[in-house]
């Protein structure tokens, strides 16, 4: 009987190049007819920078373990059935450039912590059940080019400081309950 040293059993397969570490940096599971909740284990993919799971049937709340994804630049959770409040911990993604949460069942207010996202270029929260007002902290996101908050229950006045977002080229605020109806017509005309 011939014994094989245990070190040989644990060696890398010969078809993999030596000294290369394989890390998941992007994950696209969009439009795959997936259902269920998002696993907390997704937070273990610490090198993930791009996550797209839009147009599926995911539901429930988003696990806090996603805060481990500190390299995140792109998140698209749109067109699912997520519910509960938009997590305030989204504000911890300091590298985040695009956040899509449209067409879900989120309730509550827009978290003021989204104002911490200094690199944010696109924010889409349309088609939820968000109420309250547009937080002033969101106007600190000077890189915003796209802001879509349509089809919600937002009210109060639209902050005039929204005009200070000089890179903003798409602003969608229709089907809300703003006091400034005339302003909406002007905004729609400017950005068409």
Is domain 20-190 annotated with CATH 3.80.10.10? yes
The pLDDT tens digits of the residues spanning 62-111 come to: 999 999 999 999 999 999 999 999 999 999 999 999 999 999 999 999 99
pLDDT band per the 50, 70, 90 thresholds, residue 179: confident
Domains of the chain by residue range: 20-190
* CA quadruple 83, 116, 78, 174: dihedral sign: positive
When comparing pLDDT for 13 and 79, which is higher? 79
Q: What local confidence, expressed as pLDDT, does residue 191 receive?
A: 46
pTM of the model: 0.84
Q: Report d(CA 138, CA 2) in Å as an integer.
A: 68
Q: Report d(CA 146, CA 123) in Å as an integer.
A: 6
Q: State CA 80 to chain mean position distance.
A: 13
């Amino acid at each position: 009987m011939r014994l094989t040293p245990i070190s040989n059993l644990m060696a890398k397969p010969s078809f993999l190049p030596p000294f290369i570490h394989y890390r998941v940096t992007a994950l696209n599971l969009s439009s795959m007819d997936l259902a269920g909740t998002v696993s907390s284990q997704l937070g273990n993919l610490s090198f993930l920078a791009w996550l797209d799971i839009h147009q599926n049937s995911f539901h429930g709340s988003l696990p806090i373990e996603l805060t481990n994804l500190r390299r995140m630049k792109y998140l698209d959770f749109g067109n699912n059935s997520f519910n509960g409040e938009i997590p305030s911990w989204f504000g911890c993604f300091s590298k985040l450039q695009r956040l899509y949460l449209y067409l879900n069942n989120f309730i509550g207010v827009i978290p003021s912590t989204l104002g911490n996202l200094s690199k944010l270029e696109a924010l889409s929260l349309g088609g939820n059940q968000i109420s309250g007002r547009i937080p002033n902290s969101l106007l600190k996101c000077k890189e915003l080019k796209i802001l879509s908050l349509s089809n919600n229950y937002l009210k109060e006045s639209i902050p005039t400081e929204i005009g200070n977002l000089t890179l903003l080229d798409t602003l969608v605020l229709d089907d809300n309950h703003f006091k400034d109806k005339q302003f909406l017509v002007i905004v729609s005309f400017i950005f068409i």
